[in-house]
Amino acid sequence: MDLAANVAPVGAPAVPGNRGIWVGILCEMSEFALMFLAWAWFRHGHPEDFRAGPAMLNAGAGVANTAVMLTSGYFAVRALLAIRRDDAIAARNWLVAALLGGLTFLLIKALEFRWNIEHGVVGTGNSFVAMYYYLTFNHLVHVVWGCLGLIWAILRAQFGAYGAADHEGLEAAVLYWHATDLAWIVIFPLLYVLH
Partner 1 sequence: MMNIDESRATTVWLGLLALTLGSAWLGEGVFPPGLTAAVVALIVGVKGLLVIRHYMGLTEPGSRLRLAVRLYFVVVPALILVSAALGG
- Contacts with partner 1 by CB under 8 A lie at 13-16, 22, 26, 29, 33, 36-37, 39-40, 43-44, 47, 50, 54, 59, 62-63, 66-67, 70-71, 73-74, 76-78, 81, 175, 178-179, 181-182, 185-186, 188-190, 192-195
Nearer to partner 1, 36 or 145 (CB): 36
Q: Give least dist CB 64 to partner 1, A.
A: 10
Q: Give least dist CB 152 to partner 1, A.
A: 19
Nearer to partner 1, 29 or 159 (CB): 29
Handedness of CA 52, 58, 60, 61 (dihedral sign): negative
Q: Give least dist CB 159 to partner 1, A.
A: 25
How many CB atoms are closer than 10 A to CB 60? 12
Q: Give least dist CB 189 to partner 1, A.
A: 5
Q: Give least dist CB 75 to partner 1, A.
A: 9
Q: Give least dist CB 92 to partner 1, A.
A: 17
Nearer to partner 1, 54 or 116 (CB): 54
Nearer to partner 1, 51 or 160 (CB): 51
Nearer to partner 1, 112 or 181 (CB): 181
Nearer to partner 1, 16 or 123 (CB): 16
Q: 3-state secondary structure string, the chain?
A: CCCHHHHCCCCCCCCCCCHHHHHHHHHHHHHHHHHHHHHHHHHHHCHHHHHHHHHHCCHHHHHHHHHHHHHHHHHHHHHHHHHHCCCHHHHHHHHHHHHHHHHHHHHHHHHHHHHHHHCCCCCCCCHHHHHHHHHHHHHHHHHHHHHHHHHHHHHHHHCCCCECCECHHHHHHHHHHHHHHHHHHHHHHHHHHCC
Nearest Cα to Cα of residue 33 among 192, 193, 194, 179? 179
